[in-house]
Amino acid sequence: MGKKHPCSSSMVWDMKTMFHCSITIFFLGGLATLVSYNYYKNNDQEAAMIKVSLATATFSTANANIDDIDTSTITNATQAGFDHQRRLKIAPPPLTETCDLFSGRWVHDNRSHYPLYKEDECRFLHGDLACQTYGRKDSKYQQWRWQPHGCDFPRFDGKAVVERLKGKRLLFVGDSVNRNQWDSMMCMLYSSIPGSKKLRLSLSKTLYSFKAKDYNISVDYYWAPMLVESNGDDPSNHSLDHRTVRIKSIEKHARHWVDADILVFNTYLWWRLPIIRLLKGPGSLLGGPDQVYDEVNNVRAYKMVLETWSKWVHTHINPEKTKMFFMGLTATHSSAKDWGGKKQATCYKETEPVTVDGFRESGTDPEMLRILESSLSKLKAKGVNVQLMNITQLTQYRKDAHPTVHRRLWRPLTEEQEKNPERASDCTHWCLPGVPDVWNELLLAYIFSTTSQ
């Protein structure tokens, strides 16, 4: 048998043996401590080097030509970082994905932000919307801020928006409410671009174009109130008692839209008549005496036109190049009894918003909003994202913000209308500055959401 170590448990321990064993254990413990310290020190140094390597690689990527970067350095450093359970910082999701910007309330704010521009300083403003120019005395309607529940959105910064829109074409397509929004955007940018002499407004029969030459920005509006061909395609002559459309004919209008970088659609008001005429056969002329047509209810016709529009978008628009938006339905405060007013009254002389949470005026058809939401969902399933700007609820409260009789009149009021101005009141469009400025602030939050992280 081999010789047993003097510290073996089988030995009889005396004082001398115990002393030698204590010295041995102390020496071995110290050696182990030293080795452990060096090990962890080296690992911490390595982790610190990995962190520096990752930061350097990230900075270099942002400031160098991609062909000059040694990607193996980044890959190795990243892998080492994961091996040591280091987490890379991940950009938070954009505000538009974490906050419902369309659920909120109106807050009076006359100190910091609103109005975004002065009516008399926007020389391109359409007379139908210049309410103070045409006699409106109160101005509180210009001073309301939309406040989403539990969050906020970027307020308009004209200089930043102008820089981000450089080289782009922003196009609004639809009826006169979309033109109302275009007017708003035009005035917002007009107040932000230095050198008004370098700004140009050009008007054709169906296309209005606002251009900032130095920035290569074009903000346009195309008149297509029903998106497809209709008897309302003449913007200066469409006061008709019926609506007639070629429900599958969109190319006549749509060929003017394809080169836009940002498309903003709407269509709703012109579909509210109970019956829509659908032309049959290519030979039947819009407005002609020998029209052949079917009559369908407005909800079914609205669904059909969105199907035609969806097919065109899916076929002709590259969603990687063009951002697309569809504005929700807007309120028409034509019946004051909805908010407790007189039976025959309208929005005439209203100066305060409705404050009842969830208020809905009777002229808005929720079925049409559901059809619109469904159409956009089907497009998204096919890989084409058209963002719904669901401004429906936020417009419901603003019975105070319409032009009523304070607008340019295309024909003099009749004696009956002068006696009863409610009957001549425009409760469909919106005074500017006013509610559409907030629509555009929300729109810009979505347009630039992917670049603001």
Active site residues: 176, 426, 429
Tokens at residue 400, please?
């105070």
For residue 352, report the phi and psi dihedrals to the nearest 5 degrees. -135, 145
Give every CB contact of residue 116 below 8 A, 6+ residues apart in sequence.
Answer: 156, 187, 188, 191, 433, 437
On the CB side of 344, how many CA atoms lie within 13 Å of its CA?
Answer: 5
For 378, list phi and psi in degrees, rounded to 5: -65, -40
Distance CA 136, CA 286 (A): 39
Nearest to 141 by CA among 168, 126, 119, 171: 119
Q: Residue 104, SS3? A: strand
CB atoms within 10 A of CB 409: 13
Q: Please give the torsion angle defined by the CA atoms of residues 123, 124, 127 and 128, in that order, rounded to the nearest 10 degrees.
A: -140
**Tokens describing residue 229:** 């061909």
Determine the Cα–Cα distance for residues 27 and 62; give it in Å rounded to an integer: 53
Measure the CA–CA gap between 363 and 360, rounded to whole angstroms.
9
Contacts of 218 (CB under 8 A, 6+ apart): 168, 169, 170, 209, 210, 211
